[in-house]
Structure 1
Amino acid sequence: MNKFGLLFLLLVACSTANAQNAYRYRRALKGVSEQWHKLVLPDEIYGKLNVRFSDLRVLGLASDGDTIEASYLLEAARQKEYVRDIDLQQFNKVQNNGRYYYSFKANSEELINFMHLEFGRSNFSWDIQLEGSMDQKSWFTILKNYHILSLHEAHANYSFTDLHFPATSFRYYRISVPSDVDPLFRKALVRHHELDPGVIHAYAPEHFTVSQKGKQTIVDIELKNAVPIDWLHVLVNAEFDYYRPCSIYFAAGDTLARDERYRNYQSVGSGILSSVELSGIDINPQVAKHWRLIIENFDDEALPIQSAQFYGPVYHLLVRFIGKAKYYLFYGNERASAPRYDLAHFTDLIPEDP
């Protein structure tokens, strides 16, 4: 079966054919040489699609004047995470010189790279250590001075007790916690995480401004194009520990008032900016160009926000061409419904992406 060929798009004028007049834009498809092709949607196209992406059509103009519609599947190359739980049995707990030690035995020598710790105490800040051994005589450091904390206060409800480290395999593991009181350790969830990053685009801001309003920091971000976004990374240049709730908004349109236009922002996510973990915010997938981040500072000084970077999935069409023609990608129709093709029921017959 033929492998996919990668198509290139060229922007051309709108078609005048009646069947195609409902679409505001078309792009010529160059290099159609196989039955199957993979068509990656370019960044500049997303802002012209309807919100459902249901107005994409691949149409061909045959030499006899007939119009051919090629079927396709729309896919997003999102990252995938594979998780395997590992069984560790706690067999010892001791206290010595202001540190509490918890020892575990693995039932097999499987690789692990993640631990989630649970404690009975609700407010703490500890720099812990994780070690591994094959015989309980020689111990090797996996993590040293690794910061974990838990905050439960009037305006804070936050816990970070996840341990991330390079994949390792030992028969025995030991966690030590520096504390004057019993940490009330409950359990450790141990896993091996594998991440298939897929194809993710990173988008740097075209314009980036930071302002203060009362006890809030307002970060306005403009991208080059309206593109699909599902994660925001915020770079904070602070030399002190911090914990700040924040919310992310996108501009869904604008309003004219008193001869001035104001953007209408809608919330699509919230999170915590913290000094103990990667400062990122999950976003309900949204296509937008203008964004606003609001950070709650409460009574603390404002965070020095250095920059921000957006991330989003890459969408592509898996297209099956059925005859010789000049093919175009049509789009730009708010009322268009998603097409229904037989291809959706025979996905196992689609060749693998080379």
Structure 2
Amino acid sequence: MMKRKISCAICLLWSSVIYAQDFTHTTEIEPVSTDGYHKILLSPELLGMANSNLSDLRIYDEAGVQQPYFIQRESARSSHQEFRAYEIIEREHEKDSTSYLIFKNTHQESIHEIHIIVENTEVKKRARLSGSHDQKDWFAIKNDYLLQAMHSTDHTTDSNVLRFPLSNYPYFKLEIDDNLKDPIHILKVGYYATEVKQGLSTRFDFPIKSQLDSANHSYITLAMPREVYLENLHVNIKGAEYYSRDARIFILKNTKSNGDKAGYTLHQIGRTAFNSSSENSINIGSTQAKELQIQIDNQDNQPLQVEQVTASFLNQYAIAKLSPDHSYLIKFGDQNLYAPIYDLAAFKDQIPSDLALAHLSPIHHISGNSPTAQKSVSLFENIYLIWSIIGLVGVVLALVSIKMIKEMGNKA
């Protein structure tokens, strides 16, 4: 009888875990037009209300099947080198003679080196470089280049750099001695440019609730309808023509004290100096907030008027495979969930970087359980309940063991 009761208790606990519904919010992914992987742009509201590490984020299709994903974040800035070729307007190859090519420096930029892309070769050649304003009169820039070891073990072409005194001729001529030898095959002449790209960001208004000026300080309270995520604040100020004021930024958190009396606490998350010569942007780090307060030290000056405050953060995406034939939603808000482990994470480097963008619909609060929601939560996503089951199983095993020992003693 005792065994049966314990077994029933375990089954009830197991059942309650399987059908637990702890998500608090959901949002739909807007329909996509193509099959394949997409970058799902995560909104400030989702990032503000989800767990800070997004461990509670789950994507489901219309059948309630969980879809694998990984999180990608924009870098503040990235750089890469790109080869830019000059226009080759003339080239000549004469056997057992001097071959040459002429390339055009279209914008007459001042340059001090060029890169030549050649098909692999293992010869030595002498070369020289000259410049011209009209392609008639040529002037020496550098003589006696030695071109050699122009081959790659990984590709059929190689790049060779030729350096020279800073020059801005509109035309350059590269001459190569080919006496008694076949010419080398120069495919391109150009240079490598480093392109710096700023990371894409999301920007939104953070409404001003009030501004109170007193005792040489200004207190500006900012309030959103719900928690949002932000990393930077951009403050638009008017007032004095010239100003330089110390300022601190606080996050307001609601508390309750003295019974049912509501209150709040302030936690400083940043400080800066507002200056008439700057853009007045403040980096406050990764922050989830509903209300903020800016405190400005006016000293003996007249208060400044804060006209507008905007918030921003570097874009974050959930990378997932989507199809126009299916609908998808995202659920989040379960504080007890840990991050999912998908095979996809091991192959993120093989996913193209240039993906179509998908957007989210407005967020909705989950008011009650639904069959789909019940199927969505896995037993193994709630670590606290897992330990509860393990503890209960341990108790059962202990009781069974004690009973067996007693029975063995009685038989003896």
TM-score range for the pair, normalised by the shorter chain length:
0.5 to 0.7
Aligned CA distance change for structure 1 residues 259 and 330 (closer, same or farther; 3 Å): closer
- String of CA shifts for 1:93-137, please: whole Å, max 9, x gaps: xxxxxxxxxxxxxxx958xxxxxxxxxxxxxxxxxxxxxxxxxxx
1:218 touches 1:294 (CA, 8 Å); kept in 2? yes
1:81 touches 1:193 (CA, 8 Å); kept in 2? no
Aligned CA distance change for structure 1 residues 310 and 27 (closer, same or farther; 3 Å): closer
Displacement of 1:319: 0.8
Aligned to 1:89: none
Aligned CA distance change for structure 1 residues 291 and 194 (closer, same or farther; 3 Å): farther
Aligned CA distance change for structure 1 residues 275 and 260 (closer, same or farther; 3 Å): same
Aligned to 2:26: 26
Q: Report the residue type matching 1:333 in the other structure.
A: D
Aligned CA distance change for structure 1 residues 298 and 74 (closer, same or farther; 3 Å): same
Aligned to 1:77: 74
Aligned CA distance change for structure 1 residues 338 and 217 (closer, same or farther; 3 Å): same
Displacement of 1:273: 0.6
* Residues 1:309 and 2:313 are matched in the alignment: no
Identity across the alignment (%): 19
* Residues 1:57 and 2:58 are matched in the alignment: yes
Aligned CA distance change for structure 1 residues 329 and 207 (closer, same or farther; 3 Å): same
Provide the C-alpha distance between the structure 2 equivalents of 1:253 and 1:74, rounded to a whole number of angstroms: 30
Aligned to 1:338: 339
2:45 touches 2:229 (CA, 8 Å); kept in 1? no
Displacement of 1:18: 3.9
What aligned pairs does 1:266-305 form with structure 2 within 5 A after superposition?
266-305=267-306
Aligned to 1:90: none
Aligned to 1:353: 355
Provide the C-alpha distance between the structure 1 equivalents of 2:278 and 2:309, rounded to a whole number of angstroms: 16
1:272 touches 1:281 (CA, 8 Å); kept in 2? no
1:203 touches 1:223 (CA, 8 Å); kept in 2? no
Aligned to 1:264: 265
Aligned CA distance change for structure 1 residues 23 and 300 (closer, same or farther; 3 Å): same
Q: Report the residue type matching 1:22 in the other structure.
A: D
Aligned CA distance change for structure 1 residues 26 and 36 (closer, same or farther; 3 Å): same
Structure 1 or 2, whichever has the larger Rg, is: 2
Q: Report the residue type matching 2:68 in the other structure.
A: S
Aligned CA distance change for structure 1 residues 304 and 109 (closer, same or farther; 3 Å): farther
User: How many residues end up aligned between the 2 structures?
Assistant: 233
Provide the C-alpha distance between the structure 1 equivalents of 2:314 and 2:69, rounded to a whole number of angstroms: 18
- String of CA shifts for 1:277-330, please: whole Å, max 9, x gaps: 2212111111212110111222333223322222223322101369x8764322
Aligned CA distance change for structure 1 residues 236 and 81 (closer, same or farther; 3 Å): farther
- String of CA shifts for 1:63-104, please: whole Å, max 9, x gaps: xxxx632211112335426599xxxxxxxxxxxxxxxxxxxx
SS of equivalent to 2:23: coil
Q: Report the residue type matching 1:199 in the other structure.
A: L
Higher relative contact order (Cα pairs below 8 Å, separated by 6+ residues): 2
What aligned pairs does 1:1-354 form with structure 2 within 5 A after superposition?
18=18, 21-29=21-29, 31=31, 34-60=35-61, 62=63, 68-80=65-77, 109=110, 196-257=197-258, 259-320=260-321, 327-351=328-352, 352-354=354-356
Displacement of 1:209: 1.6
Provide the C-alpha distance between the structure 1 equivalents of 2:28 and 2:212, rounded to a whole number of angstroms: 44
Give 5+ residue unaligned stretches, structure 1: 1-15, 85-107, 111-169, 172-191
Larger relative strand fraction: 1
- String of CA shifts for 1:19-76, please: whole Å, max 9, x gaps: 66232333444536624232222344334312222100113464xxxx6322111123
Q: Report the residue type matching 1:213 in the other structure.
A: S
Provide the C-alpha distance between the structure 2 equivalents of 1:55 and 1:288, rounded to a whole number of angstroms: 18
- String of CA shifts for 1:256-285, please: whole Å, max 9, x gaps: 447542222222211111122221211111
Q: TM-score, normalised by structure 2?
A: 0.49
SS of equivalent to 1:346: helix
1:58 touches 1:327 (CA, 8 Å); kept in 2? yes
Displacement of 1:193: 10
Give 5+ residue unaligned stretches, structure 2: 1-15, 82-108, 112-166, 169-192, 357-412
Provide the C-alpha distance between the structure 2 equivalents of 1:292 and 1:316, rounded to a whole number of angstroms: 29
2:227 touches 2:288 (CA, 8 Å); kept in 1? yes
- Alpha-carbon RMSD across the aligned residues, in angstroms, is 3.6
Larger relative helix fraction: 2
